[in-house]
Amino acid sequence: MKEIPYESDSYYIFDRTYNNFRMLYRIHQIGACFVVRAKKNLQYKSIKWKKKLAKNVLSDMTIELTGFYPRRYYSEHLRLVRYWDEEQKREFVFLTNAAYITALQSAELYKSRWQVELFFKWLK
């Protein structure tokens, strides 16, 4: 994550291995957005829930991190999106700082990252 030359007004999509809240906050500070899968042991407090949800969006909420280091490194509110993937028959949980896109769009951004990876593998 440290080597990526981040640019404002861009989106960065990460797997849950990259739950580095110090780096995610850096992305947020430069005016870029991220979508990252949340780890199962994420500690947070729910602040606000959205009531109208798209199909397969199980929840869309504003949260505050409560774990000692995550809260210290990322003090702003985040969105936590729970999404049911019909194809894989499983739930995904995402964190994002993108407040102006829908929960479904954040799930689709994450899903599209696999298509990009497959494209680059095909090029090799």
Q: Residue 33 in contact with residue 98, Cβ under 8 Å?
A: yes
Q: Looking at the domain assignment, is residue 25 inside a domain?
A: yes
Q: Residue 29 in contact with residue 7, Cβ under 8 Å?
A: no
Q: Whose CA is closest to 78, among 94, 57, 58?
A: 94
Domain of residue 19, CATH code: 3.90.350.10
pLDDT digits (tens, 9 = 90+) for 83-109: 999 988 999 999 999 989 999 999 998
Measured distance CA(99)–CA(80) in Å, rounded: 11
Q: Looking at the domain assignment, is residue 6 inside a domain?
A: no
Q: Looking at the domain assignment, is residue 111 inside a domain?
A: yes
Pick 31 or 16 by higher pLDDT.
31
pLDDT at 15: 83
Q: Looking at the domain assignment, is residue 85 inside a domain?
A: yes
pLDDT at 119: 43
Q: Which domain holds residue 104?
A: 11-123
Global pTM reads 0.85
The domain total for the chain is: 1
pLDDT band at 118 (very low <50, low <70, confident <90, very high): very low
Q: Looking at the domain assignment, is residue 84 inside a domain?
A: yes
Q: Looking at the domain assignment, is residue 4 inside a domain?
A: no
Q: Looking at the domain assignment, is residue 3 inside a domain?
A: no
Measured distance CA(73)–CA(10) in Å, rounded: 21
Q: Looking at the domain assignment, is residue 15 inside a domain?
A: yes
Residue type, 23: M
